[in-house]
């Protein structure tokens, strides 16, 4: 099995898992992953994550020229911004998961650190999550907003839209995305309750122990 064939199947497998668990409904969400030659495999526009055909996944050159497969997602500028600014990025996952979207609409959320410090894994896998303003779907300004972060964030939350996570590979990106959604769910479930979140010293201990970028 070639690298490309294997990655096409992995994208399809992970996408179906996310869809089957209700983490991105209908034809929402998109995934990209980078091959060793720098080219990208990207889920097609208008496709459902639960019913992908590996052969129809879009193949783009490193300069984003369409090589084969169906037309790629309109969110290509968003994906390419992560690849261009974070050289360790091997995959990008964007979902419309309910709890993360709900969290993005709360007025008290800190735009510089949208996820509250509730669990160590939220910190370990995501670092600080930047809340970006609302953009129309497919707007190239989303990509420019990510570029403006200069590679300092591996995850962002698009206001009223959904989360985007970059990882070193597809598995890491998916697992980090799942952690983001679960932390958002905890934040929504405990909103208005006097809980014991991680203290600043707890957060710092996690950051130091697991070498988390926390700038």
Q: Describe the strand order of the beta sheet including 162-167 as a list of residue ranges.
A: 66-68, 58-60, 40-42, 30-34, 91-94, 162-167, 155-158, 130-132
Catalytic residue, from 75, 178, 179, 181: name it.
75
DSSP 8-state code for residue 163: E
* CA distance to 71, 76, 120, per residue, from 44 (Å): 5, 10, 34
Burial 155-164 (b: 16+ CB within 10 A, else e): bbbbbebbbb
75 is catalytic: yes
Q: Take residue 22 and report the two structure tokens written for it.
A: 């209700």
Residue 121 among the catalytic residues: yes
- Please pick, among 4, 9, 121, 175, the residue that the annotation labels catalytic: 121
* 162 vs 29: CA distance, rounded Å: 9
Locus of tokens 């990882």: 167
Residues with catalytic function: 75, 121
């Amino acid at each position: 099995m070639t690298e490309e064939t294997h990655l096409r199947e992995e994208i399809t497998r992970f996408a179906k898992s996310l869809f089957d668990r209700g983490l991105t409904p209908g034809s929402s969400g998109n995934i990209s992953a980078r091959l060793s030659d720098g080219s990208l495999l990207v889920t097609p526009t208008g496709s459902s994550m639960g019913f992908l055909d590996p052969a129809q996944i879009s193949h783009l050159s490193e300069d984003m020229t369409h090589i084969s497969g169906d037309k790629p997602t309109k969110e290509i500028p968003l994906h390419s911004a992560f690849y261009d600014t974070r050289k360790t990025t091997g995959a990008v996952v964007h979902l419309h998961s309910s709890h993360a979207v709900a969290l993005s609409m709360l007025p008290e959320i800190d735009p510089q650190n949208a996820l509250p410090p509730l669990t160590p894994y939220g910190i370990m896998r995501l670092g600080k999550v930047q809340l970006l303003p609302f953009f129309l779907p497919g707007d190239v300004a989303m990509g420019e907003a990510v570029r403006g972060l200069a590679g300092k964030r591996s995850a962002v939350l698009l206001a009223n839209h959904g989360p985007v996570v970059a990882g070193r590979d597809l598995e890491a990106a998916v697992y980090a995305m799942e952690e983001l959604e679960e932390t958002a769910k905890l934040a929504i479930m405990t909103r208005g309750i006097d809980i014991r979140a991680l203290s600043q010293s707890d957060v710092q201990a996690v950051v130091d122990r697991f070498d988390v970028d926390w700038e």
